[in-house]
Amino acid sequence: MSEREPLFSAKNLKLIREPLGPSNPITVQVLGICSALAITVQLKPAIVMTLSVMAVMTVSSVVISLLRKMIPPRIRIIVQLVVIASMVILVDEVLQAFAYEVSKQLSVFVGLIITNCIIMGRLEAFALANKPWPSFMDALGNAFGYGLILIIVSFFRELLGSGTLMGYQVVPNSFYEFGYANNGLMVLPPMALIVVGVIIWVQRSKNKDLVEQN
């Protein structure tokens, strides 16, 4: 066996850094779009969603990575789903116990973490073929990348759509007296798609490597 790799080697750190930028799960791989549209109306549910996805993803990545040599390839998807689903149920129970209001707001979308393509994608593409620690780093990085976009989108949607941030009013009342009005379109899902689109636009005009050649 070769020399032991340090925990925070350059390779492992790259696993965390890459998903924040050039291989972002939402803006580059275009995965997990549905939840990005559904729960980004306000900042708070978006943050809670990020944490939930992070918890589900890291734990199931490590579990799958530990089991990777025992899982028969033909039923690996089912095994992955079982692990993810049990994690999601745990997260759901925790949310209902300690953050009931947010859990009500997120409603069905907590359960739908099971179908979040990012988690399945990372388990399939990474955890099944790598050791637990790199799998953990990879899951963490992708959850950060996912959360980053969620938080940017929900920041703009809550600020412009409701005039609040984390539920506190930030647009001063004097603005409203001058005739400013909240943008109702920001609260509707199509605007989330447009905001994500604008982020993709900005990202690609900064990083030309991401632009598809055709």
Partner 1 sequence: MNALRRYLDKIKPNVEKGGKFHFLKSTFEGFETFLFVPNTVTSTGSHIRDAFDMKRGMIMVVLALVPALLFGMWNTGYQHFLALGVEAGFWEMFWFGFLKVFPIIVVSYVTGLGIEFVFAQIRGHEINEGFLVSGMLIPLVMPVDVPLWMVALATAFAVIIGKEVFGGTGMNILNPALTARAFLFFAYPTKMSGDRIWVAGLEKGMETVDGYSGATILGQAAQNNEVFVNGIGEKYTAWDMFLGTIPGSIGETSTLAILIGGLFLIYVGVGSWRIMLSVFAGGAAMGLLLNAFGGNALMDMPFWQHLIVGGFAFGAVYMATDPVTATQTQRGKWIYGFLIGVLAILIRVFNPGYPEGMMLAILLMNVFAPLIDHYILEANIRKRLKRAKVQA
Residues that bind partner 1 (CB under 8 A): 179-181, 183-186, 188, 194, 197-198, 201
**Smallest separation, CB 43 to partner 1 (Å):** 20
CA atoms within 13 A of residue 214's CA, in its CB half-sphere: 3
Nearer to partner 1, 21 or 189 (CB): 189
CA atoms within 13 A of residue 143's CA, in its CB half-sphere: 24
User: For the chain, what's the residue count?
Assistant: 214
Nearer to partner 1, 72 or 179 (CB): 179
Nearer to partner 1, 70 or 181 (CB): 181
**Smallest separation, CB 174 to partner 1 (Å):** 15
94-102, long-range: CB < 8 A, 24+ apart = 95/48, 95/52, 99/48, 102/44, 102/45, 102/48
Nearer to partner 1, 22 or 184 (CB): 184
- Angle of helix 117-125 versus helix 76-98 axis, rounded to 10: 140
Q: Retrieve residue 110's tokens.
A: 């907590």
**Smallest separation, CB 106 to partner 1 (Å):** 24
Nearer to partner 1, 141 or 161 (CB): 161
Q: Retrieve residue 95's tokens.
A: 């949310």
- The Cα–Cα gap between 206 and 153 comes to 19
**Smallest separation, CB 152 to partner 1 (Å):** 17
Which residue(s) pair with 164 in the sheet? 169
Nearer to partner 1, 66 or 202 (CB): 202
**Smallest separation, CB 20 to partner 1 (Å):** 24
**Smallest separation, CB 183 to partner 1 (Å):** 5
- The Cα–Cα gap between 106 and 93 comes to 13
Closest CA to 22 of 211, 214, 213: 211
